[in-house]
Structure 1
């Protein structure tokens, strides 16, 4: 069981301020876990601990730990007992539940029910990039998730795309859903950093090595790059079947240009972003991926797919290029344009940094969450 982490409220010597809003935030794998939600709230935890007083005090706990697939069934009872103990041992104003779909909906339904018995309001933060399309079968979890949304004091989604999509899917008023864009700590205030002349163009894929994330398509596209391009080097940083993807790179003849690191902790991967020229994520579906926000923060050009709320951070032709999912030829063409055109690549890098500063600094996300909490508490 990951320990519960309490965010520091105010530096010693400050004048007394009103009591902060106390939030118990349930993160699936905890803030040290592997995943986008976990990385997002690791950024939040860092900001609350080291930044100015925000009027929030957050405790983080995990609900499934590092268990894979159905392994959560064995872990969850212990997490549930810990959750009950936290609610019983200290008064919280808000329980913040991060949810996706399938089994996550059932877990959050139970946690929300217990919070209700304890008299604590819940805010539900929906991160999934998947809901059944018309004609597809709907599992029981679909109705369970609707119930979770209906009982919540507020439902948070990642962008206007998701507000519209989820509201239509559930035939609920759009105003029921509050948009709070993801944000990341500004770990690269001097970005974009100048590159040494003649240095290889550095590409980064940060995510699980799966077909859903487009890792296989990326390898195919790299093998299609023209040999006359300037030198390039690609890093694929993520968990998954690393050996199989490494073998695939060897089969495609690009093993010398592609590096597989496995999962990298934040202290290791953030410096890598600062050295990266192009962040690429050819996913089939996404919410608002943290890796693209981290890429924008570090001043990298972005190449990704027009799914979910990616268009909020990747402005096609301004700070990056959009390609359709599962199209290695189009992806290779986009990457070749940026590898071969240093002036355009540098313009995109500068634009990425500007987009990050204007919309995705972590202070904005935390402020928006605080406003959601305040509205929920005021509605009592």
Structure 2
């Protein structure tokens, strides 16, 4: 039986990779979107050494060109971040437009503003603006990001589609069970262990709180300089309060979320982080920095707690408030899950993408 020709060619990072974009795309695939919308997925990026990355990018660009020429998808949908990711996807969309396909530029990079305005020269800024304005549609993850893109590229057609997250089963449960109270004093961080994620401030906050909360323990799940972070914890006198399990796969992540009492992500810049969505879907109280699209997801005192970035004292105060009030954690966690269910479920987001595809392909 001949394979169904793709209606949508989707281009992004390897689905088995680590990081937020891979997580987003894996959720879309698992939801059945690829089958329902006849999506063929091509990866132009994979983790590894420089040579391996170049070979993979070349193979992905070649597969994109062959698919566009031979199978003529109606739409090419590219998921992009900054730097090399943007360059690869801008070339993909240039090829697709030349062949006559409609194109979608889907922005994920939390530092895209700095990339476009500060780190790019005049020619690259023009190319970024050209790519956005020549795309049939630009997808932003939040209203604030959409406002920036419309200001930066006034001729671009911009729509807001948030990231989607599956809703895990929740029980009334005891400490350590999914949806339950978690282990008292246990704070979870998920993300790359790097300064941009606010990791230094988080260690400082734990050091400030340790004397008041004997049960306090911070679990930092993610890749990075683990030895450096062990040294940083030791220098602050909190080595016995920190666990560094490294990158966590889906099952390990879910297990850590179940055990957590509070989830914390004090990033300096973000788009709409999957880690926060996953924690909220699991019914956890969240403390996060008020950057990027986070304030549109987390409403301070309603379904989580917001703190300014770069402020260890404010972060410590927010964590103390959550750790010291069981009722507050339970209320915020319940509201967090309700928020995800209403606005960020796979059903809601995939329905929005399907409507966009039908609109661009003229099949409404």
TM-score normalised according to structure 1 size: 0.86
1:170-319 equivalences in 2 (<5 Å)? 170-172=153-155, 176-186=157-167, 188-190=168-170, 193-195=173-175, 199-229=183-213, 231-319=215-303
SS at match of 2:10: strand
Q: 8 Å contact 1:21–1:55 — kept in the other structure?
A: no
CA distance in 1, matches of 2:91, 2:73: 17
Partner Cα distance (1:276, 1:195) in 2: 9
Question: 1:256 aligns to what SS in structure 2?
Answer: helix
Could you say if the C-alpha distance between residues 166 and 117 of structure 1 is closer, same or farther in structure 2, counting changes exceeding 3 Å?
closer
Is structure 2 residue 21 aligned with structure 1 residue 37? yes
How many Å separate the matches in 2 of 1:279 and 1:69? 34
My pick for the range that moved more, 154-163 or 250-259, is 250-259
The structure whose residues are more often helix, as a share, is 2
Counterparts in 2 of 1:149-160, with a 5 A limit? 149-160=132-143
Which residue does 2:354 correspond to in 1?
370
Matched, 1:27 2:12: yes
Moved more, 93-102 or 284-293: 93-102
CA-to-aligned-CA distance 1:163-201 (integer Å, 9 cap, x gap): 11111122346xx10110111112x22156442799433
* DSSP 3-state at the match of 2:332: helix
Looking at structure 2, the residues matched to 147 and 21 of structure 1 have their Cα atoms a distance apart, in angstroms, of 27
Shift of 1:357: 0.9
CA deviation profile, 1:99-128 (whole Å, cap 9, x unmatched)? 122332321221112222333221110112
CA pair 199-63 structure 1, distance change in 2 beyond 3 A: closer
* 3-state secondary structure, aligned to 2:232: helix
- Residue in structure 1 matched with residue 77 of structure 2 by the alignment: 96
Indicate the larger mover: 91-100 or 325-334: 91-100
- Aligned residue for 2:32, secondary structure, equals helix
Give me the whole-angstrom Cα distance separating, in 1, the residues matched to 2:285 and 2:351: 27
Instruction: State the alpha-carbon separation in 2 of the partners of residues 90 and 135 from structure 1.
Output: 37
1:327 match: 311
1:223–1:254 Cα contact (<8 Å) kept: yes
**Aligned partner (choices 79, 86, 107) of residue 60 of structure 2:** 79
Decide which of 48, 56, 71 is 2:32's aligned counterpart.
48
Q: Secondary structure at the match of 2:196?
A: coil
Any unmatched runs of 5+ in structure 1? 1-8, 10-18
Q: For the residues of structure 2 that align with 1:286 and 1:170, how far apart are their CA atoms?
A: 20
CA distance in 2, matches of 1:134, 1:349: 36
SS in 2 for 1:63: strand
What is the rounded CA distance, in whole Å, between the counterparts of 1:34 and 1:291 in structure 2? 12
**Secondary structure of 2:7 counterpart:** strand
Q: Is it true that 1:122 corresponds to 2:107 in the alignment?
A: no
Pairs aligned (count): 356
2:139 is paired with a residue of what secondary structure?
A: strand
Does the residue aligned with 2:213 lie in a helix, a strand or coil? Answer: coil
The answer to whether the 8 Å contact 2:133/2:155 transfers is no
1:357/1:281 Cα in 2 relative to 1: closer, same or farther (>3 Å)? same
Aligned pair in 2 of structure 1 residues 199, 124: CA closer, same or farther (>3 Å)?
A: closer
Shift in Å at residue 133 of structure 1? 9.0
Unaligned runs of 5+ in 2: none
Q: For the Cα contact (< 8 Å) 2:187–2:264, is it kept in 1?
A: yes
Is the CA contact (8 Å cut-off) linking 1:191 and 1:299 kept in structure 2?
no
> Are residues 133 and 119 of structure 1, via their aligned partners in 2, closer, same or farther at CA, if it must alter by over 3 Å?
closer
Instruction: String of CA shifts for 1:194-253, please: whole Å, max 9, x gaps.
Output: 427994332111100010011111111111105232513221111111111122112222
Cα pair distance change 1:70/1:124, threshold 3 Å: farther
RMSD, aligned α-carbons = 2.7
The whole-number CA distance in structure 2 between the counterparts of 1:239 and 1:252 is 21
Deviations 1:246-302 (A, max 9, x none): 221122222222111111122321232233221111011100101000001000111
Q: TM-score, normalised by structure 2?
A: 0.89
